[in-house]
Structure 1
């Protein structure tokens, strides 16, 4: 019995009542569904005309090719050929996939290069914009900018003066009045201020022990050169040799953010709670002002390049509107923190000694600086004149801090810490806790009501 459509033995044979022909059930059902007639006689045909044939199950005979050894060999040869063709096709697909992957990786690398170039151009544009902002004289400078007329257009004169130095707007009378009012207010408050009852005693300080340690900076360049604590939040900022500044949340023990951008070690940093600003100074000769966001991140809004040598110190004025930077180029700069403009630069850039530390007096009208030549200089901020010098240290003055009552100054160098009486302009105590090779920093925490009214000092080694 052979199917009239396939020519093979049917699995489920059926017979047409009209033609008597034998079909495979599934084939004739599909043909009738599509055409409605007999595939052989072309007569009208429906499924009602189909009658199933009941047969015993038999084993299908082998094909002619599988009935002999040559036929089997031919079948095996065909299967081998098909396998080789399939393997060849897979190799072609693999080769194509490799080419596409290589092209995608090349595109990714090119995109990374483009992004890096765009970032560099963006940073350069920001730097040029910041420089342009500093070159424009501040509106509060008290004098209009010198201008010339050429072809009906006004142009501001070059920033470089006849003596080859940059022209600075200066600290105008309005600013001086503001600094004086701040000094008067803080001085009056300081005289009325009592020693807080929560001030730790000397015995309590002596019992202090370390309770935790946190590796914040890269281990391949270890070392923390500067630190500051936020005055209203429990946040600590550290500046390291790895060129990064890290903001650390002490209660949670987590790093809030890492500020990158400097190309060399960060030598000094300060929080400015007003407007959530943060200032960093670096050995790459630049100062950066960072703006905090609600998410806790800080973005660089100004990059200041007024110094020609390493920036060693940053100190913020009590008004939180101005700050000073001190550099090894033997100059210190007075900045407007909101615009990032350098109002005045004091010192001779060609001098041999450079500044290694700086600190504002609590009342804001006096600035102290330490030099590489072991000299401490006291400046009048209003006139930018040097009003006093303290000598006696050995080696660069690496740190300084005024006492809270404003009467004393602590300075640190290789020979230890010296305490100076600003009223008598003399050194009245020297603390040398370790050998001369131990680096020393100092911070006067409070002028509490201690025995003989001596200043209370924290030393860092």
Structure 2
């Protein structure tokens, strides 16, 4: 009998003996499951995890991406699947999955939402959502609402069935570049080419405060996973931290040499990742208020992270 203290050498020996027996292939799937569970018990941490071989046969051993949090490279989509073309050919500015993952929503330069079937890749519906080009789209954390923004400064609320229930046509004076919800979904923030970041009461669709401090267009904003902190980046090459409750600017990072196009918190909210037109990705630790690392390698603008 195998014990919970089994290690790879014991398993290898067991397989060698078992393969000599003609009846072994019949029970192989059951034995494989047992051996895998024992191997996981033996593993101390990610360093002891079995390395996946780069062959089609290794697909049976692959676990979901969440199992490889220490190795994000296993989650890369490396296989081209399909191209879908809209009837009205124009630039696609935003792409977003529905919460169920069954459909894809694209926001276009013409102000249209197009819903695509995630399995057949056919379009299911075209909706004239905005009067001007759509620039930002985000789902609430409870997956019940989507908020979108356009080039004219309008912000609109959408239900799961794509019904438009609210609209604020004068939310910003210029293009709404990014949107982000707080963890409770009671508030959300927006940023715009009018140089401001705004905090909104979601239920009333009413502005609570406007944060001024960027000297040029603000291209990206993200709400902290657990706290009332915002991070923003803009055309003035700056990354700024804000207190969402008071509207006070807490800190500015001057590391980038060109427009900051995207800013994101990590899951526990200790780090901020920034992407810029200077072709560099930077990682900041907000506990120490300093840059941890710069990632170089892109040959063109880094537009997302």
Question: Hey, what does 1:309 align to over in structure 2?
Answer: 174
Pairing partner for 1:341 from 174, 198, 206: 206
State the partner residue of 1:104. none
Question: What is the alpha-carbon distance in structure 2 between the residues aligned to residue 390 and residue 210 of structure 1?
Answer: 38
1:216/1:406 Cα in 2 relative to 1: closer, same or farther (>3 Å)?
A: farther
Cα distance between partner residues in 1 of 2:287 and 2:221: 19
What does residue 157 of structure 2 align with? Answer: 289
What RMSD in Å do the two structures reach over aligned CA positions?
Answer: 2.5
Q: Distance in 1 between matches of 2:261 and 2:185?
A: 24
CA shift in 2, pair 1:243/1:433, >3 Å: farther
State the match for 1:271 in structure 2.
139
Deviation at 1:230, TM superposition (A): 3.5
After TM superposition, the score normalised by the length of structure 2 is 0.70
Structure-2 residue corresponding to 1:371: 234
Counterpart residue number, 2:294 = 430
CA distance in 1, matches of 2:69, 2:87: 32
Task: Name which of 236, 245, 252 aligns with 1:382.
Answer: 245
Are 1:215 and 2:85 counterparts?
yes
For 1:368, what is the secondary structure of its paired residue?
Answer: strand
1:38-66 per-position Cα deviation (integer Å, ceiling 9, x unaligned): xxxxxxxxxxxxxxxxxxxxxxxxxxxxx
Between Structure 1 and Structure 2, how many residues are aligned? 240
Q: Deviations over 1:325-365 (max 9, x none)?
A: 111112122112222111222227xx742311100111141
**Offset at 1:199?**
4.9
CA distance in 1: counterparts of 2:74 and 2:66, whole angstroms: 15
Q: 2:191 maps to what in 1?
A: 326
**Matched residue, 1:259:** 127
Match of 2:95 in 1: 227
* Partners of 2:141 and 2:236 in 1: CA distance: 34
Match of 2:113 among 233, 236, 245: 245
Question: Residue 108 of structure 1 aligns with which residue?
Answer: none
* CA 364–265 in structure 1, closer or farther in 2 if over 3 Å, else same: farther
1:412 to 240, 263, 275: 275
Structure of larger gyration radius? 1
2:74: which partner in 1?
A: 204
Give the secondary-structure state (helix, strand or coil) at the position aligned to 2:210.
strand
- 1-structure distance, mates of 2:151, 2:92: 14
Distance 2:192 2:168 in 1: 16
Other structure's SS at 1:197 match: helix
d(CA) in 2 for partners of 1:207 and 1:278?
25
* The structure with more strand, counted as a fraction of residues: 2
Contact 1:401 1:410 in 2 (8 A): yes
Residues 202 and 382 of structure 1, relative CA distance in 2, 3 Å threshold: closer
Using the alignment, how far apart are the partners of 2:143 and 2:290 within structure 1?
A: 39
CA contact (8 A) 2:141 2:184 kept: no
Q: CA 1:241–1:439 in 2, change beyond 3 Å: closer, same or farther?
A: farther
Contact 1:259 1:298 in 2 (8 A): no
Q: CA offset at residue 441 of structure 1?
A: 2.4
Indicate the structure with greater helix content. Answer: 1
Unaligned stretches of 5+ in structure 1? 1-194, 444-461
Deviates more, 1:370-379 or 1:280-289: 280-289
Aligned CA distance change for structure 1 residues 339 and 424 (closer, same or farther; 3 Å)? same
After superposition, the Cα gap between the structure-2 partners of 1:387 and 1:320, relative to the gap in structure 1 and judged at 3 Å, is same
What is the CA-CA distance between 1:282 and the residue it aligns to?
A: 1.1
Distance in 1, matches of 2:99 and 2:258, equals 32
Change in CA separation of 1:228 and 1:297 when aligned onto 2, cut-off 3 Å: closer
Select the residue among 209, 214, 217 that pairs with 1:354.
217
TM-score normalized by the length of structure 1 = 0.48
